Amino acid sequence: MSKKKMKFEVQENESIDACLERMKKQGFIPVRRTEKPIFQEVISGKETSYEPVGRQIVFEGVSID
C-alpha cells in the first residue's frame, strides 16, 4: 500500500513551526524540506544583476495512516 504524498509551502508571514503544525493537523508528517532562493532583477544603467530577496520553503509530507 502506497502512502499519500502532499506538498506544503511555508506561506508569507507564517513560521516554519506553524506550517509543520498545519501538516500535523491534516494528518501528514514531513519527510523532505526544499528551499529555493527568490531573486529580484536589478537594472542599473546597462548592467543587469540579480539580488536575493527571499526564499521559498516547501515541505513534502506523507500521510500518517
The predicted pLDDT at position 9 comes to: 96
Rounded to two decimals, the pTM is 0.78
Intervals of the chain under pLDDT 70:
1-2
Per the CB < 8 A criterion, the answer to whether 12 and 64 are in contact is no
Give the chain's domain count. 1
The Cα-based distances of 39 to 19, 55, 59, 65 in angstroms read 23, 8, 21, 38
d(CA 29, CA 51): 34
Which residues form the domain of 51?
A: 5-63
pLDDT for the residue numbered 2: 62
The pLDDT of residue 65: 76
Could you give the CA distance from residue 15 to residue 57 in angstroms, rounded to a whole number? 10
